[in-house]
Structure 1
Amino acid sequence: MSGLLKIVVFCLTFAVLASAQGADSVNLLIMIEDADKNSIPRNSQINKRVHASISQQLNQVADVYDETSLTLGNLKQSRKYRTDAELIDIARSITRPPIDLVVVLNTYASVTTNQYAKNARARVAAKILNPKSGQLLDNFEVQSPRTWSIPYACNKQSCILEEIGDEAKVLGDELGLVLAEKLNWLINGDTPVQKTTDDTLIVNDYYLEFDGFSPQDMANIEEYLLLFSGYISHRPTQQRHTRTTLLYRSTSGTAKLSRNILKLLEELTMRATINFYDNNFNVKRITFRGENPNRDIAEGW
């Protein structure tokens, strides 16, 4: 069988595998950024109500995890005034389960008092990030009518928190619905039903490091990388005689990409170990004494 025909058969095999395998779930973390001193601190009951409202909406689209539960025992809890950089670093540090997307929330509220009335206003902003690549995927914000009146006698902090919290919860419900629609599009495109593969519209950047593979090996491997479903582009970030690192851009999830790499090695009769962490795949060649590692792609077919 010619090398070209074998690649065609290989491509069809991947199409069958794609429909037979289950979908990757999207693991989502909702985090509150309060580095801006004008924003409401993350431990405020206002933010807790906003967080709960949005979590309820997004849980219909993705697997939403609780930050405290995942970081308890490893990271310092109840920190305030956290920046984007800290939030992304925390999301990247979580590996069980790995976090695919982060929704970052900012909540703002203010109360103004004059001689006869007390008015409040609130705003909640959110952005969707890919923590592995740092890519901004989308953003949106909702706000209350220009102002709304609260009881003039509402002077205690508990009263103000309750009044603003009620409005903030409504804003959280509204924002959650919008974010759910945006996430559904990113994950499923315009298909309203559950997908049968783990390809999404979310673009993932992977670093594929091939250790112990010759330039001829890499030429053969790259022919197959182009065939993987979800493929967008790739380019080398490091090339040495027996080590090549590729920046591989794809809409496939990690589980599917891992399966495809295993199938690729099987098709090329190459033995290797595969290690995965964060968004990095390390593929290390295993050779045996007397074995010729530079096998031609069409040899024996």
Structure 2
Amino acid sequence: MSKKIFSGVVAVCLNPALDVTGSLASLNSGTLNRVSDSDVFAAGKGINVAKVLANLGAQTTVTGFLGEENANAFERLFSDNKIIDAMIRVPGSCRNNIKLSQHDGLTTEINFPGFSVPPSALDALGHTLSRLAQEHDLFVISGSLPSGISPVRLAGWIHFLCSLGKTVYFDSSGEALSSGINAKPALIKPNQEEFSEWLGEPDGSITDFRNYSQRLMATGIENVVVSLGDEGAVWLRHGEWIKCDALDVDIVSTVGAGDSLLAGFCWGYLQGWSQQKTFRFAIALSASAVSQVGVGVSDITDITRRVSEVNLSPI
């Protein structure tokens, strides 16, 4: 009997959002601020990852939850980017996130609450994941949890997929991150602040991360990627840390940079690339993301060119 070949990737977005973005010279609290440029994007971490992967050429399916009242923007994004829509509609609206980018590269985010997921929709997602697992190997679960979903439930979905032999990449924060780690996904990708919180080190440094290698390996997670903003990222694999420096680019907006980084790791997995080739591509992809407004791949040739500029080193 021949081995079944899996293709494509499933991006799981439990808490999508409409991102209202704006740019201004500087943000001053307690007074009037005038935005020079603005736009609205269908987003959320899992949605962003799906869009980047689809732009790269991956067969991409997205599942999770969409609020019925403002699902149209997301449906247009899926159609425009040839993303397969397996989202479950729930009563209410997806949340609104305001992201204000200053000319110095700093971004201020204000995230509002959205829909609450009813129990019936939780069961529906479980059935959808089971169905998609019949034809897919790679699942990326990314983002925060909406009302109605507990960290324990999230961990249960990760554990279920892993028990089927699926590869799960996971990106979240707080209690969701802690619960997800316990379910042993193949890769986690917190940022420096999120990871420091999990370690119990409020100002965790690269040295702290290295010192916690044994604790990380004891979790049974094979890959730990920590994004460091303008310092690049570090990757723990097989007990060894590798650091990748950030590329020198003009920063327009940091929105979606971490999602693009995660998409780069997914793309490397799908292509069967080595660790170093995957890391270099992911960093180049993230650098491209911060040099534009909005998430997505606008110029693959520029990303490919930047790969050779990426510097890797052991730490």
TM, length-normalised to structure 1: 0.26
Q: Which has the larger radius of gyration?
A: 1
Higher helix share: 2
Higher strand share: 1
Greater relative CO, 1 or 2 (CA 8 Å, sep 6+):
1
TM, length-normalised to structure 2: 0.25
